[in-house]
Structure 1
């Protein structure tokens, strides 16, 4: 019963539709990490605090390819002319998903829970607005900043099965905006990614949905 309460795809979709966080594990033969994900427009300062305290990795917002095109957001590695910009030794994927880093212009330093929540929430809200383009984006956000933007593959799970695509596929199925905030869950004791067993235990303790990437891929 406990496994069903944390691990079902239906529950993950229902939770995301309600603006609640969901734990998503990609695959043991990929990154082998569990990310704590939210619909971006549902992110509050309290959610940012949870991401940095209970997650501990990089706080990001993943956007669909169509939204990234509308905002004119490049893949960062395609714009960097530096010899360190070489990803041939990337062990889990062919390329990174990183785009720009941004702050909302109404924030101050951009790094506080309040500032990052504002940035993330507005990214979620404007992602649905087809009339909101690069000029509006530049008027509201500045780069560089403290929220990392990730750009998804155009066909999502048909092309790539990272947390960027997994989270956005979940968002699409839940009928929420095409913008997902998240953070990798890390282990303070080992210095590594939080184990899948410990991530499941966290989900159970906090009554949160947990879903494997394979379940998402097979069920959507």
Structure 2
């Protein structure tokens, strides 16, 4: 079994993977896990051992079904000049941001606790897996504490968002996956060498985006 097959199997089993996008891009490693099996303990682990922003990614068709789009589109179409001025044409790493709305599920309290974020994430996956996309505005509100990402065409953008969503497709899973950037002790992104060491010490798979 090659590393990609092992990664797909791990994703299907609800395990955390480490995903490196590419040298020359962000050159960062994210912890990723499918949204269905996220628990409060998962969020705690991402928060403590990865340390970056805990995001929920989905694909374009799903975003269209529930009626959301990229934040940059909202900003450009808002009619507010300041939002247009703040909208980046391109980021330092070369792509437009994948961010959309920040969500809380209606059953959360503040939305920020590990328990609340796990609830928001799993209920989002449950909603789309059951095909109940029309329930989105009834079950969630924004702004909240779980930033959502919308994958673009993987042929045009190969960020962690697109690579992670592509993995869900290869694994036959719903397009709902959680990502969190790994931070280093030097206050920068965790180096690929340190990520490899972490993966080995914790029995996790580190997959390079070029394999997807």
**TM-score (normalised: structure 1):** 0.89
Q: What per-residue deviation string (whole Å, max 9, x for no partner) do you get for residues 162-213 of structure 1?
A: 01110011111111111001100001x2111000011111111111111001
CA contact (8 A) 2:127 2:133 kept: no
**Aligned 1:70-149 pairs, distance under 5 A:** 70-80=65-75, 81=80, 82-130=83-131, 132-134=132-134, 136-149=135-148
Aligned partner of 1:212 in structure 2 is: 208
How far off is 1:159 after superposition? 2.1
After the TM superposition, which segments of 4 or more aligned residues of structure 1 sit over 6 Å from their partners?
none
**Aligned 1:161-176 pairs, distance under 5 A:** 161-176=158-173
Q: What per-residue deviation string (whole Å, max 9, x for no partner) do you get for residues 87-136 of structure 1?
A: 13512133111100000110100000000000011112222233x224x1
C-alpha distance in structure 2 between counterparts of 1:152 and 1:128, whole Å: 18
C-alpha distance in structure 1 between counterparts of 2:66 and 2:18, whole Å: 28
Aligned partner of 2:196 in structure 1 is: 200
1:109 aligned counterpart, secondary structure: coil
Aligned partner of 1:30 in structure 2 is: 25
**TM-score (normalised: structure 2):** 0.93
Count of residues paired in the alignment: 206
Matching of residue 67 in structure 1 with residue 62 in structure 2: yes
- Structure 1: unaligned runs, 5 residues or longer: none
Matching of residue 49 in structure 1 with residue 44 in structure 2: yes
Q: What per-residue deviation string (whole Å, max 9, x for no partner) do you get for residues 3-39 of structure 1?
A: x9xx811111110011111100001110010000000
C-alpha distance in structure 2 between counterparts of 1:39 and 1:52, whole Å: 16
C-alpha distance in structure 2 between counterparts of 1:59 and 1:167, whole Å: 14
C-alpha distance in structure 1 between counterparts of 2:54 and 2:90, whole Å: 24
- Structure 2: unaligned runs, 5 residues or longer: none
2:52 aligned counterpart, secondary structure: coil
1:158 aligned counterpart, secondary structure: coil
Q: What per-residue deviation string (whole Å, max 9, x for no partner) do you get for residues 60-86 of structure 1?
A: 000010110011111111112325423
Question: What is the Cα-based RMSD across aligned positions, in Å?
Answer: 1.5
C-alpha distance in structure 2 between counterparts of 1:138 and 1:72, whole Å: 9
